[in-house]
């Protein structure tokens, strides 16, 4: 690999001993791993392994029964969504969670809500600071629109776009938050080869240009091995592997899990 | 000139974010306003003002208020006449007890008081949704029915329970004749429509719609449900409070608590369902429809020479509302406004549909 613009730094997120259960279903069992600044960290594992649950714990949608999460030096038992967003973590969703009735532009603009602070009265009159703020953030959003090559769809209600483009808008909304840590839940699922290549390129560009740290859940092993620095492997809620793509590929437990050897 | 946006290139984001980016729409809007302010007063009879246009303008304002909450923020309410009642009685008491206040100030204060009550009754929305929330909002209705009938202070101990108001005065202008009332209400509605438009296209509007469309994702991007929902309740109740004060002072003149009963709440809901959820224009269509239909059902048979009894036409009106509501809920949840939008999209392509 060529030298990176943002060399991998220290640990910014550490998950320690997290367990999460839904009634009788144990989605996560004492999972620990860490994420280093500027790296691309993949989480892989069979369906139902607990990958999405892990992201949901990190950004405060699910609240684990046990374990802690250290992020930027602070320790949390469970995270609060608003606080997580404010501290620079954003994400995309496995099953699209876009605002269906809103245009592409408004969906992405919504991603900047935390940065917009004018009060209700100024917004109602749309004068001075309120108007300036709208335009300023519109410019930032336009840069993201250009970056993800979705200029043609700005004013279209997002529900009318094909699936692959919706995935891109989901990413755009997350990027609009200018995250320090970006969590991507199967960003390439259901895409054809070209769309996957585009998405891969966008993810690498985000990492490269903005130095954004990325945690990526992905099923396509080829993609994972290509773009990630380190990989966590989950199976039945348990961590069974952790290391570079080559380490993980050589790990017997991982091979068994993927080949469906009985436990 | 064909209805087209081709060739109208936007060179700045400011011009792209205008309310009406297409030049023809702007011309149309100016003409429409000129017609409403100048043309209508020249050609319209007092009867039409009093039975059609005045209630239409006020109910449109209330429907916009309800639409901000239900259509934009996705929180159902079937007790919104309560906030109109709060506005009306607040205005009545303000005028009675602080007579030197300018009526515009009275209106704003009445709206603010309704907003506070709206926030209180919006609190359940933080925990419950859908049907349960709908039932909880009925509490607002029952509470206001009870309060304004029982707590005599609000009605200044009037024996009959009904309150009277004098014509409103504004900077030495007495708003008394039907034309004057119409012009005053029209001006108020135009301003409030602009404000509502600014809100829904600003960031608070995006927060409301985000809550409506996907609340988990909204929270993950940092939107606080408490703030988004309660501001929607506040603004919505504010609009209805102002509308209620106008309904009392300008349309009714004198009224009793029954004037703001559940029936009115349901009518407001019908307006936004028929007109279009999440559309300001739809609020206009819906209010126009609800106000005009009973009158048409009264008049048209007479013109046709087959008079029907008022009871029959009232029943007919209810049946038509019922049928339309079912139709719109099932077939076109975005109401008349959506049909209008489809028509406009066709026009954009006309005469070359492909
Ligand atoms: N909200 C929920 N309620 C109940 N069970 C859940 C919920 N979310 C996830 N689970 C369960 O937790 C387990 C892990 O799911 P998930 O994290 O979605 O797996 P993955 O993303 O790896 O496919 C599954 O058994 C799933 O059924
Ligand atoms: Mg998943």
CATH of A1-88+179-263 among 3.30.750.24, 3.40.50.720, 3.30.429.10, 3.40.50.300: 3.40.50.300
Rg (CA), chain B: 21
Q: Is residue B163 part of a domain?
A: yes
Distance from CA of A195 to the nearest CA of B (A): 24
Cross-chain Cβ contact A59/B220 below 8 Å: yes
Give the residues surrounding ligand 1 with Cβ less than 6 Å away.
A 22, 25, 27, 45, 47-53
Distance from CA of B240 to the nearest CA of A (A): 16
pLDDT at A176: 97
Which class is A97-178 in CATH? alpha beta
Query: Atom 10 (ligand 1): residue with closest C-alpha?
Result: A27
Domain ranges of chain A: 1-88+179-263, 97-178
Higher pLDDT, B113 or B313: B113
Q: Do A97-178 and A1-88+179-263 have the same topology in CATH?
A: yes
C-alpha A31 to ligand 1 mean position (Å): 15
pLDDT tens digits, B316-352: 888 888 888 888 888 887 888 888 888 877 777 766 6
Return mean pLDDT, chain A.
Answer: 92
The beta-carbon neighbor of A99 closest among B13, B202, B209 is B209
pLDDT at B354: 57
C-alpha A95 to ligand 2 mean position (Å): 8
How many domains is chain B built from? Answer: 1
pTM: 0.92
Taking residues B45-50, report their average pLDDT.
89
Residue span of the structural domain in which B244 resides? 46-349
Cross-chain Cβ contact B214/A114 below 8 Å: no
Return mean pLDDT, chain B.
Answer: 90
Q: Is residue B15 part of a domain?
A: no
pLDDT at B60: 98
Q: Which CATH number fits the domain that encloses residue B317?
A: 1.10.3470
- Nearest residue of B to residue A118, measured between CA atoms: B203
- Cis bond upstream, residue B241 (ω within 30): no
């Amino acid at each position: 690999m060529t030298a990176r613009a943002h060399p991998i730094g220290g640990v910014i997120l550490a998950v320690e001993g997290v367990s999460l259960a839904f009634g009788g279903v144990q989605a996560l069992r004492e999972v620990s791993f860490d994420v280093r600044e500027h790296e691309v960290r993949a989480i892989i594992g069979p369906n139902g392994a607990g990958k999405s649950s892990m992201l949901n714990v990190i950004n405060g949608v699910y609240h684990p029964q046990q374990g802690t999460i250290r992020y930027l030096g602070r320790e949390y038992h469970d995270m609060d969504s608003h606080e997580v967003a404010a501290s620079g973590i954003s994400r995309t969703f496995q099953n699209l969670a876009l605002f269906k009735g809103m245009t592409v532009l408004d969906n992405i603009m919504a991603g900047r809500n935390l940065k917009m602070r004018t009060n209700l009265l100024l917004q109602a009159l749309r004068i001075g600071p309120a108007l300036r703020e709208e335009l300023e953030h519109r410019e930032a959003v336009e840069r993201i629109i250009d970056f993800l090559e979705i200029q043609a769809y700005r004013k279209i209600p997002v529900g009318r776009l094909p699936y692959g483009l919706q995935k891109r808008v989901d990413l755009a909304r997350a990027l609009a938050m200018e995250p320090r840590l970006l969590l991507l839940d199967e960003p390439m699922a259901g895409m054809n080869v070209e769309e996957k290549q585009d998405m891969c390129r966008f993810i690498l560009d985000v990492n490269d240009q903005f130095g954004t740290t990325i945690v990526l859940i992905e099923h396509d092993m080829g993609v994972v091995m290509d773009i990630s620095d380190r990989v966590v492997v989950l199976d039945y809620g348990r961590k069974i592997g952790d290391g570079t793509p080559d380490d993980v590929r050589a790990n017997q437990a991982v091979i068994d899990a993927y080949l469906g050897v009985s436990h | 000139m064909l209805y087209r946006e081709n060739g109208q290139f936007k060179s700045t984001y400011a011009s792209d974010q205008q309310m009406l980016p297409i030049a023809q729409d702007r011309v149309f809007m100016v003409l429409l306003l000129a017609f409403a302010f100048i043309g209508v007063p020249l050609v319209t009879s007092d009867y039409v003002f009093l039975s059609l246009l005045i209630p239409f303008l006020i109910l449109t304002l209330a429907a916009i208020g309800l639409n901000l909450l239900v259509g934009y923020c996705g929180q159902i309410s079937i007790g919104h006449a309560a906030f109109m009642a709060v506005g009306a009685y607040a205005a009545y008491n303000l005028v009675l007890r602080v007579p030197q206040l300018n009526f515009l100030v009275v209106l704003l204060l009445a709206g603010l008081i309704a907003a506070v009550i709206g926030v209180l009754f919006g609190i359940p929305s933080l925990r419950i949704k859908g049907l349960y929330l709908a039932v909880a909002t009925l509490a607002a209705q029952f509470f206001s029915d009870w309060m304004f009938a029982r707590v005599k202070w609000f009605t200044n101990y009037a024996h009959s329970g009904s309150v009277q108001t004098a014509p409103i005065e504004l900077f030495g202008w007495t708003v008394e004749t039907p034309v004057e009332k119409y012009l005053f209400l029209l001006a108020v509605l135009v301003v409030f429509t602009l404000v509502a438009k600014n809100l829904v296209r600003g960031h608070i509007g995006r927060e409301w719609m985000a809550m409506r469309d996907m609340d988990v994702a909204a929270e993950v991007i940092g939107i606080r449900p408490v703030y988004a929902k309660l501001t929607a309740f506040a603004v919505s109740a504010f609009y209805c409070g102002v509308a209620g004060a106008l309904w009392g002072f300008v349309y009714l003149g004198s009224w009793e608590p029954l004037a703001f009963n559940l029936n009115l709440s349901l009518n407001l809901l019908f307006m936004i369902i028929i007109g279009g959820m999440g559309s300001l224009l739809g609020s206009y269509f819906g209010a126009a429809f609800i106000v005009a239909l009973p009158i048409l059902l009264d008049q048209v048979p007479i013109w046709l020479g087959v008079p029907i009894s008022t009871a029959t036409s009232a029943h007919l009106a209810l049946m038509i509302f019922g049928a339309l509501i079912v139709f719109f809920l099932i077939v076109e949840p975005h109401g008349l406004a959506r049909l209008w939008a489809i028509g406009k999209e066709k026009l954009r392509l006309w005469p070359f549909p492909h």
